[in-house]
Amino acid sequence: MTSPLNKLFSTTLSGIAAAVLIAGFSAQAWAIAGVDFPLEDDLDFEEVQELIDAGEYQKAISYLDYEVIEWYPENAEALTLKAYSLRSMGKHDEAMENYNAALASDPTHKGALEYQGELYLKIGNQEAAAVNLQKLANLCPRGCEAHDILQAAIERFKDGEVSWVPPTRRENIGE
């Protein structure tokens, strides 16, 4: 004999499953099921970008870890923003790990290529930065902001300016 509690649980679970199937796993279906997280295509990095722009790198990292990377561990944009924050805090090894993870997920991520190239310069590896510059040249044969900024950083490095200067805020780091 089935207890009323088991029947209620079974009915509720069946209803949630049906809602998810009917809605085709849309965000609305997940909301009906009581799960509150955005689908990967709906992620908005405006809030974390504001934290980064304000120099609140640890808060940005926490936000990315718990609001995005926990759900989407291979999201190249989130990994790039986390790496940028780590690099800005002087945590070069951790930053490099995150840039590598971003590029493993999306080898064409322009922001990751540019920022990793800048990190290579910061640690004195001009050859590796030049490899990233060539990858950007292949990705944007007519030029793009990521290529231009990394190229300028390499030129400054050649002129003896080893220090990295943060670029002005851009609307979308990954593009």
Closest to 51 in 3D by CA, of 34, 65, 72:
65
Report whether 108 contacts 139 (CB < 8 A): yes
pLDDT of residue 168: 52
Q: What is the spatial distance between Cα 59 and Cα 51, in angstroms, rounded to a whole number?
A: 7
Q: Please, what is the end-to-end C-alpha distance for the chain in angstroms?
A: 60
pLDDT of residue 90: 96
pLDDT of residue 28: 46
Spell out the per-residue pLDDT of the chain, length 175, in tens.
Answer: 555 545 544 554 444 444 444 444 444 444 445 555 567 777 889 999 999 999 999 999 999 999 999 999 999 999 999 999 999 999 999 999 999 999 999 999 999 999 999 999 999 999 999 999 999 999 999 989 999 999 999 999 988 865 555 555 455 555 4
Q: What is the DSSP letter of 163?
A: S
Q: What is the spatial distance between Cα 80 and Cα 93, in angstroms, rounded to a whole number?
A: 14
- Burial of 136: CB neighbours in 10 Å, binned 0-12, 13-18, 19+: buried
| Total-model pTM | 0.72
pLDDT of residue 13: 45
pLDDT of residue 44: 87
Q: What are the CA-CA distances from residue 173 to residues 32, 81, 113, 128, 131 (Å)? A: 33, 8, 11, 21, 20
